[in-house]
A and B are shown apart, each in its own frame.
Chain A
Amino acid sequence: MDWLYMMMPISGVNIFWPGLIILGLGVGIIGGFFGLGGAWMVTPGLNILGFPMAFAIGTDMAQMAGKSLISTMRHGKFGNVDYLLGIVMLIGTVIGMEIGAQMIMWLERIGQVDKVVRWFYVVLLTIIAWIVFADVAKRRAKEREAREKNQEVDKLESGFDWGKRLQAIRVPPMVHFKHAGVYCSFWLPICVSLFTGWLAGILGIGGGLIRMPALVYLIGCPTHLAVGTDLFEVAISGLYGAASFTYKGRTELVAAIIMLAGAAVGAQIGVVATKYVKGYGIRIVFGMAVIGCLFSVLFRQLAAELPSMANLFTVLATIDVLGLVSLTAIYITIRMLKGAKAEIAAKKRAAGN
């Protein structure tokens, strides 16, 4: 069975290469569906496959850039990408990430910040999960109210209308993001992306997990547009991250290329699935993925805090990530296959008539 293992030229580790394809496939599906880079899934995944942590992050960044580019191409054809909004957001993201990274370096000089950062991550994920589900509850309450009045809620209406309120702040210059259907101050996406970039920089993550809900709840983007636009940003910021890590010699390109082969297929499944799932469907599954991610970070933190039970919590974190990735990817694939089957059957019926 030696042929199933491949020697990585830079890190010198022998890797089970089908595992890389499976990991790429899973993260391609999930990333394409939610608009995420998926570093929180890939980095521990690569680590489990045998990569030293130093190479896991850089390799993840490289594959993330390529995978997000593939997903953006597909989302772009659906009209799910607002390139202008993506570029404007990128300005704030890059500046915010740099401020966050500098702040972390400053904190490192003061003392050990790893634990603090991880707890901060836990708090942030908790807030995101709460926002997602509170928004779902609010939308349902709006529907109930409307039914009582024999009315219907607009199909693009959200539970929370923070986006609309922020759009109403008319600080010039005003910009019309046509694809996203957002007319707002130029400073709104700049401020939001600066904030999300700063958070991502502090946490040392790509930031899709924060930016996608920020696009929905703070900018007021429709969910599908938020997913596509965020992926466009992830592709560019991922390339920048990959350049930085590669220059420091922390990227195993061969592994990233193998992962991309799986991710190319996964991205098609994930993106096409968004065609058959409405905005709130994406939001609910995203909320559940955030909760899964939250538990994985929590287990890793508990492993660090309680050394006597470190093994147990490490195993729990691994099971959580693997279980979450597998179940979410399977769910998205089923939704995509069911939707595609129904669409093709409807086309055949129409052709027969």
Chain B
Amino acid sequence: MTTLRRLGVAVCALPLALLAPSLAMAAGGKSAPIAIVADTRFIDNSLMHWWAQMYNENHMAFALMTMVIIPVLGVILGVVADFFMRMTGIDLEKRELAEK
């Protein structure tokens, strides 16, 4: 255990020693914010075009739609996956709680 502790201290000390020059040399300016616009000219698919257009015109609506779509899709995929997993015959409700 003592050897393990010594090894741990040595391993932790190495990055700390390497960190020192970075801290000392830290200098420079902040990067400027970037404005991103979706280029809709080459999008053929109407759904994709509408989506990109909304991104350009209304970031709030775009963010809200994303916030709704992600959890709803997550739940749908979870339910579908559950349906197929049940067909495997594995008990999906019981497990033994043990560390070793």
Enumerate chain A interface residues (CB-CB to B < 8 A): 7, 9-12, 54, 62, 65-67, 69-70, 73-74, 77-80, 108-113, 115-116, 119-120, 122-123, 126-127, 130, 133-134, 137-139, 141, 143, 153, 155-158, 222-225, 235, 239, 242-243, 246-251, 253-254, 256-257, 260-261, 264-265, 267-268, 272, 274-275, 278-280, 305, 340, 343-344, 347
Task: Please give the number of chain B residues whose Cβ is less than 8 angstroms from any Cβ of chain A in the complex.
Answer: 64
Nearest-neighbour CB distance to chain B for A196, whole angstroms, equals 18
Interface majority SS on A: helix, strand, loop or mixed? helix
Which chain B residue shows the least CB distance to A129? B11
Interface majority SS on B: helix, strand, loop or mixed? helix
Contact partner of A239 (CB less than 8 A), chosen from B5, B36, B39, B71, is B71
CA distance A239 to B27 in the complex (A): 34
Q: Which chain B positions have C-beta within 8 A of A9?
A: 38, 40, 43, 48-49, 51-52, 55
Is A116 a contact of B19 with CB atoms below 8 Å?
yes
Nearest-neighbour CB distance to chain B for A350, whole angstroms, equals 12
Q: Which chain A positions have C-beta within 8 A of B88?
A: 340, 344
CA distance A125 to B99 in the complex (A): 23
Given A12-B39, A78-B92, A254-B48; A249-B8 close (CB under 8 Å): no
Closest 10 CB pairs of A and B: A279-B99, A112-B28, A69-B74, A66-B74, A264-B77, A119-B19, A9-B52, A246-B63, A115-B22, A73-B78
A-B contact pairs, 23 of them (CB 8 A): A7-B43, A10-B51, A66-B70, A66-B71, A69-B78, A73-B75, A73-B78, A73-B79, A77-B93, A78-B92, A115-B25, A119-B15, A126-B12, A137-B4, A141-B1, A155-B98, A246-B59, A247-B59, A256-B70, A267-B78, A272-B90, A280-B100, A305-B22
Is A78 a contact of B63 with CB atoms below 8 Å?
no
Q: Which chain A positions have C-beta within 8 A of B32?
A: none
Q: Which chain A positions have C-beta within 8 A of B98?
A: 155-156, 278-279
Is B78 a contact of A74 with CB atoms below 8 Å?
yes
Given A54-B34, A65-B71, A156-B99; A10-B52 close (CB under 8 Å): yes
Question: Which chain B residues (23-44) contact chain A, with CB distance < 8 Å?
Answer: 23, 25-30, 34, 36, 38-40, 42-43
CA distance A260 to B93 in the complex (A): 24
Is B90 a contact of A239 with CB atoms below 8 Å?
no
Nearest-neighbour CB distance to chain B for A241, whole angstroms, equals 11
Which chain B residue shows the least CB distance to A224? B97
CA distance A138 to B8 in the complex (A): 14
Nearest-neighbour CB distance to chain A for B40, whole angstroms, equals 8
Given A9-B52, A247-B59; A155-B99 close (CB under 8 Å): yes
Q: Which chain B positions have C-beta within 8 A of A134?
A: 4-5, 8
Given A78-B93, A253-B51; A243-B67 close (CB under 8 Å): yes
Nearest-neighbour CB distance to chain A for B63, whole angstroms, equals 4
Q: Which chain B positions have C-beta within 8 A of A242?
A: 66-67, 70
CA distance A126 to B11 in the complex (A): 7
Is A10 a contact of B38 with CB atoms below 8 Å?
yes
Q: What 0/1 readout, one digit per residue, does chain B (56-100) give for beta carbons within 8 Å of chain A?
A: 000110110111011101110111111001001111111111111
Q: Which chain B positions have C-beta within 8 A of A347?
A: 89
Contact partner of B55 (CB less than 8 A), chosen from A66, A126, A249, A280, is A249
Is A66 a contact of B51 with CB atoms below 8 Å?
no
Q: Which chain B positions have C-beta within 8 A of A280?
A: 99-100
Q: Which chain B positions have C-beta within 8 A of A74?
A: 78, 81-82, 85, 92
CA distance A62 to B65 in the complex (A): 12
Is B78 a contact of A264 with CB atoms below 8 Å?
yes
Is A272 a contact of B77 with CB atoms below 8 Å?
no
CA distance A10 to B50 in the complex (A): 11
Most chain B Cβ neighbours within 10 Å, of A73, A141, A347: A73
